[in-house]
Amino acid sequence: MASLEERLAAFVRSRLPGVEGVRVEGLERIFGGASRETFRFVLEYGEDGVPVSRRLILRRDPSGSLIDTERAVEFAAYRGFHGSAVPVPEALWLEEDERWLDHPFFVMEEIAGFEASPQAILAPPYDRHAAKTARQKWTILGEIARADASALGLTDVMQPVAPDACWRRELDYWEKRLDENEQCPQPVIRAAIRWLRRNPPPPAQRVGVVHGDYRTGNFLVDTEGRIRAILDWEMAHLGDPLEDLAWGINPVWRWARDGRAGGLAPREEAIRIWEEASGLTADPQALRWWEVFSSVKGQAIWVAGAREFSTGENHDLVLGISGWLMGNSQDRAALHDLGKLP
């Protein structure tokens, strides 16, 4: 059977019929990315006698993952935001036909030489620039909230939602995922769900693009603290922009354990920057609703990963440890946001 490199090269030949000598070199899996298998590789070919070498990323659906996500949406988000105030890699090819690499996949540009790991970003030399990174991080999120989804071509692939229906659609969806995947009762999160249904938020100020997983760990930063690319758009959708803000400041993403949102800046500072950049207001009551919701969504993701690790085909260790470490921290975050834990 042909190697993954050979099969990927065959696919590229089908997409670039006018070039010669297509080769895939240095294919290497990148750690993390439990919703898709992520590989980096170098694509080499000749075009009009000129050698071309490009560093690219392959994002392939696994047999099972933390979450079932729509790759076409992720691909469209990269396409839509490329060249905008929201830095993203260039998306090249989306392929749904499984005959090429056994699972659907897409290929995009690699933004090479920068760091995504939260542990690395919160340590030298990156930590010196935490305030700068924080300002850019929350400003970019404001830009995402301001974005015209229709102009970016995203309304073609993302389901529309009315401003007063955003909360219910998301809560229904993630409660269903929890129902489907939990392997043991979740009394904290079930209590949180009841609280959310008793205390619905006001309608969204505007329906915008929601990244869906906007947190430290899902962007690339350079040693001067500049964010070079926003990654992992697999949960992007249309909705209330407060959803992204609340997710990003959830206690489980503090990492540094010192109370700073995303390990980078105080919570209130993050909110202030986001309000300034988005032109929206983070109403405290509405934001609190979305913060509690974030823990429901988070726990639904962790229990799905735990089920897949325990009973499915994907035994990526990230799935297993997420069920333990993140699952317990997520319960604690829910209790914290409900005022039941300091």
Residue ranges that bind other proteins, judged by CB under 8 A: 28-32, 184-185, 187-188, 190-191, 194, 251-255, 257, 317-318, 320-321, 324-326, 328-329, 331-333, 335-336, 340-341
CB of 188 to other proteins, least distance (A): 5
Do 211 and 236 meet the contact criterion of CB atoms below 8 Å apart? yes
CB of 282 to other proteins, least distance (A): 21
Report the alpha-carbon distance of residue 141 to residue 214 in Å, rounded.
8
Cis before 266 (ω within 30): no
Do 140 and 87 meet the contact criterion of CB atoms below 8 Å apart? yes
72 vs 321, beta carbon nearer other proteins: 321
CB of 293 to other proteins, least distance (A): 17
CB of 141 to other proteins, least distance (A): 20
Lookup: tokens for 98: 């499984």
CB < 8 Å & 24+ apart, contacts of 182-186: 182/303, 182/307, 183/303, 183/306, 183/307, 183/310, 186/299, 186/303, 186/331
CB of 251 to other proteins, least distance (A): 4
Lookup: tokens for 291: 């913060």
4 vs 321, beta carbon nearer other proteins: 321
Residue with tokens 């047999």: 63
146 vs 336, beta carbon nearer other proteins: 336
203 vs 217, beta carbon nearer other proteins: 217
Lookup: tokens for 208: 């915008």
Report the alpha-carbon distance of residue 88 to residue 169 in Å, rounded.
27
| Angle between helical axes of 284-311 and 327-337 (0-180°, round to 10) | 160
Report the alpha-carbon distance of residue 298 to residue 305 in Å, rounded.
11
Residue with tokens 């994907």: 314
Count of helices and strands (H, E) across the chain: 11, 9
237 vs 254, beta carbon nearer other proteins: 254
CB of 29 to other proteins, least distance (A): 4
CB of 244 to other proteins, least distance (A): 19
Question: How many other CB atoms are there within 10 angstroms of residue 19's CB atom?
Answer: 16
Left if phi > 0, otherwise alpha if psi is -120 to 50, otherwise beta: which for 240? Answer: beta
37 vs 74, beta carbon nearer other proteins: 37
18 vs 339, beta carbon nearer other proteins: 339
